[in-house]
Chains A and B, each alone.
Chain A
Amino acid sequence: MNGNIENYKPGEHPDLPPPKNLVGPVAWIRDNLLSSPTNVILTILSVWLLIEVIPPVVEWAFLDAIYTGEDRNECRARGDGACWAFISERFLLFTYGFYPEPERWRVNLSFILLIIAVIPVLYDRVPLRKPGLYFTALFPFIAAYLLVGGDFLGWNLPHVPTEKFGGFMLTLVVGITGIAFSLPLGILLALGRQSRLTIIRVFCVSFIEFIRGVPLITLLFVASTMLSYFLPPGTNFDLLLRVLIMVTLFASGYMAEVIRGGLQAIPKGQTEAADSMGLKYWQSMRLIVLPQALKISIPGIVNTFIGLYKDTTLVIVIGLLDPLGIGRASLSDTKWTGLSNEVYLFVAIFFFISCFAMSRYSLYLERKLETGHKR
């Protein structure tokens, strides 16, 4: 400042830069990492943790890892990192299970159809959305036929028994069936729980409380051991179908509670207004109450979906071979013993990607449906 302050007219002096100690990386570090003694300790601890964990893991999983090889011994001879050769050798098994090789195009086709069916549900600005939604409604049946095969209206695909299903494909079958059917069932149960009709209400409440009170694993055991007693003699019920029913019922119990939360948050005035407009019960639910209730229960609904998707791993306890089951079975192969970490990490990555994507989508949906009524 060499005394030429008067060169500026009043109010025209350019803004001075902020003090050096309030901006820039140094200030950021001071604010975010070292603002108090506790923070200093926490920072030191986290840095120590990162140094302890990241280099060994990176070394194990990437730098020292073996990507190709014949068996465990070859891996071990070439380094002590992860033996991904195991995973690459078994990759097809992890994907299709024991689905017969010449028929695997059917699984691929179903997967492509799945993507086509899901797009109109996920995004509302796509061409041909309306016919797309009809296709979505039909998709479960098309996929079921494609995967199982058999004779249908002159079409003839070789029959594939459901015991051959496995791997990621089985996860998708169980997960998507559960997701597709538990939402409508959950809505019905939630409405039933709120119903004026005592018998329906009591039935729904006891069903929901029972489902929520027992672990899924016990229900799966019931499906695999006990259910055949309750069916007419001679009925042979496919195990996968039994599992699908149980998983759907299980998820619908939780779904019902999530949706009930949404229904309870809708002011009574909405139903009363619908009544005074002369709307019937189902009309008022479909046009007035449910759209609002479902919108506010989206986070919960997606959480239930994610929970259901993760719970599909439990089918291994009754002998179905989902990726985890395939992995465990592969581990008992003498060629590849002791590689459990690789297998579990691989399966974990698969689940992480799918579930993380679902939760991100739910955030996107919440933002999209936000109509600014939030207080």
Chain B
Amino acid sequence: MSESAIPQQPQRNPLSRLWNDKEARSVIIQIFAFSCIFAFFFFMVRNAMYNLEAIGKDISLDFLWQPSSYDISQSLIEYNSRSTHFRAMIVGILNTLLVAVSGIILATVIGFLLGVFRLSKNFLINKLAYVYIEYVRNVPVLLHILLVHGLIVHTLPLPKNAVNVADAGFLTNRGFFMPKPSMEPMFWLVIVLFVLGIVFTLWFRRYAKRVQDATGRHYPVFWICTAAIVGIPALAFLVTGMPLAWEIPELKGFNFRGGMVIRPEFIALWLALSLYTAAFIGEIVRAGITAVNWGQTEAAFALGISRNRTLNLVVIPQALRIIVPPLTSQYLNLTKNSSLAIAIGYMDIVATIGGISLNQTGREMECMTIVLMLYLTFSLLISAFMNWYNQRIKLVER
């Protein structure tokens, strides 16, 4: 029990002292990690350079300006086989955006309906929604796309005995033929009124909220805004004598001519992606609404607020905060899943620049890098937008 019983501290070697120092250790680990990562990339890039040189390839984007010499059946802009690869890429981007945006809209609508059905007290509709959601979520999206495509191609009739929708639209297995509108001068008035309606709505909603916060007076915002966006332009449309001419598709030979056509590939992709994503959105909406404390609803009822208004002013604003973040990732998933278009031949980014252009020019590096960069940009843009929206609606804590 004397001082001498304390063991002598052994002389520790400097290396282990360095290792036992927190700061020094973190520096050592980071230097080590960095060299590993650097070595890995250096190795890959060196291999790539060596391999490319061995087969006499360089890296350049010049091929983008050469004629693509392939056709694209559905394009939002002028395009033919003499257009450049760059233009083919733009067509691909637009097609991806088209299916992504229309898919997001339809998926949101169906998804919210499904969510509400899952919460419904109605036994039948509740169970129907449940069965639908479980089936759709547990089957791969690619299978849905192929199934819907197969149904359209195999069950819809040939153009010569097309399903006639009011003598204007024709459902066939070659696509959905619709009248094509062409604008007459007075139609601009309708468009201007429509845009004004949207501007008015944006302003009016804030105004109504201000008034309500200050005085408690409640405007029927939904009806007024609907009137502004839909009603007034429609009225103007009727008053100016319907300044819109329709070019109705006609059956000539084996197919329809004229009018507008939506290709079966687009319909299949759009429907399948929307129905698939809607099932996920339905569950998100249900979870979001159930997560709002029941006490909130009871408190609103106790204050004598009506059922609808409770939903609009108390439950939904709180539920949205929970719903928006996962909803964002569903929107992103839908956009990324649209790349499965290649399985049914819809010409999106992957099928144009990452598919036919790549095979024709043999420039795997450049094409795949472009495709990856494009998708990254989309993803970052969508998440930036949804983050901004999330910021706006999130809880302002005191």
Contact A218 B138 (CB under 8 A): no
B300-356 interface with A by 8 A CB criterion: 332, 336-337, 339-340, 342-343, 350, 354
Given contacts A324-B143, A347-B143, A351-B143, contact A32 B150 (CB under 8 A): no
- Distance from A76 Cβ to chain B, minimum over Cβ atoms (Å): 13
Contact of A313 among B143, B150, B379 (CB under 8 A): B143
Q: Indicate whether B251 reaches chain A with its CB closer than 8 angstroms.
A: no
Q: Which of A88-129 contact B (CB under 8 A)?
A: none
Q: Judge whether A213 and B143 touch: CB under 8 Å.
A: no
Contact with B along A219-240 (1 / 0, CB 8 A): 0011001101111110000000
Contacts of A306 in B (CB 8 A): 137-138
A312 to B141, CA, bound (A): 11
Instruction: Say whether B336 contacts A215, CB under 8 Å.
Output: yes
Report the nearest A residue to B339, measured CB to CB.
A215
Q: In the complex the two chains form, is B121's CB within 8 Å of A229's CB?
A: no
A213 contact from B117, B122, B146, B376, Cβ within 8 A: B376
Q: Which residues of B are found within 8 Å of A316, using beta-carbon distances?
A: 142, 343
Q: Is the CB of B339 within 8 A of A217?
A: yes
Is there contact, CB below 8 Å, between B121 and A214? no
B119 at the interface (CB under 8 A from A): no
The count of chain A contact residues (Cβ–Cβ below 8 Å) is: 58
Cβ of B48 under 8 Å from chain A: yes
Q: Which residues of A contact B163 (CB under 8 A)?
A: none
Contact A355 B138 (CB under 8 A): yes
Residues of B within 8 A of A233 (CB): 47, 50-51, 54
- SS class of chain B's interface: helix, strand, loop or mixed? helix
B96 CB to closest chain A CB, in angstroms?
10
Q: Is the CB of B34 within 8 A of A230?
A: no
In whole angstroms, how far apart are the Cα atoms of A246 and B51 in the complex?
22
Query: Please, how many residues of chain B have a CB less than 8 angstroms from a CB on the other chain?
Result: 55
Q: Which of A213, A341, A356 contacts B147 (CB 8 A)?
A: A341
Measured CB to CB, the closest approach of chain A to B392, in angstroms, equals: 23
CB distance from A71 to the nearest CB of B (A): 18
Inter-chain contact B146/A229, CB cutoff 8 Å:
no
A314 touches B340 (CB 8 A): yes
Q: Which residues of A contact B340 (CB under 8 A)?
A: 215, 217, 314, 317
Q: Does A217 lie within 8 Å of B350, measured CB to CB?
A: yes
Q: Is A49 an interface residue (CB 8 A)?
A: yes
Does A177 reach chain B (CB closer than 8 Å)? no
Known contacts A197-B26, A344-B146; is A33 also within 8 Å of B123 by CB?
yes
Among B274-296, those with CB < 8 Å from A are none
Known A-B contacts A33-B124, A35-B121, A221-B350; the reply to A215 vs B26 at CB < 8 A is no
A310/B139 in contact, CB under 8 A:
yes
Give min CB distance, A72 to chain B, whole Å. Answer: 13
Q: What 0/1 pattern do residues 110 to 140 of B give for CB contact below 8 A with A?
A: 0000000100111111001000001101111
Q: Is A162 an interface residue (CB 8 A)?
A: no
Whether a CB of chain B sits under 8 angstroms from the CB of A164 is no
Q: With a CB–CB cut-off of 8 A, which chain A residues contact B232?
A: none
Q: Which of A50, A198, A317 has the largest number of chain B CB atoms within 10 A?
A: A317
A348 at the interface (CB under 8 A from B): yes
Q: Is the CB of B154 within 8 A of A351?
A: no
Which of the 9-residue segments B61-69, B164-172, B191-199, B363-371 touches chain A? Answer: B363-371
List residues 39-63 of chain A with CB under 8 A from any CB of chain B: 39, 42-43, 45-47, 49-50
Known: A32-B121, A39-B122, A42-B125. A213 touches B375 (CB 8 A): yes
Contact of B343 among A46, A213, A317 (CB under 8 A): A317
Encoded as 1 (CB less than 8 Å from any B CB) or 0, chain A from 269 to 296 comes to 0000000000000000000000000000
- CB-CB under 8 A from A26, the residues of chain B are none
Name B140-180 residues within 8 Å CB distance of A.
140-143, 146-147, 150-151, 154
Chain B residues near A347 (CB-CB < 8 A): 143
Given A217-B340, A226-B365, A352-B135, A203 and B143 contact (CB-CB distance below 8 Å): no
Q: List 26 A-B contacts (CB under 8 A).
A: A33-B122, A35-B121, A47-B124, A203-B33, A213-B380, A215-B350, A215-B375, A216-B336, A218-B339, A218-B350, A218-B375, A221-B368, A222-B372, A230-B44, A230-B45, A310-B141, A313-B142, A314-B142, A317-B343, A324-B140, A324-B146, A340-B154, A344-B146, A347-B143, A351-B143, A355-B137
Known: A199-B34, A341-B147, A355-B139. 6 other contacts (CB 8 A): A31-B121, A197-B33, A215-B337, A233-B54, A312-B140, A352-B138
Ordered nearest first, which 3 A-B pairs have the shortest CB separation? A340-B150, A355-B138, A213-B379
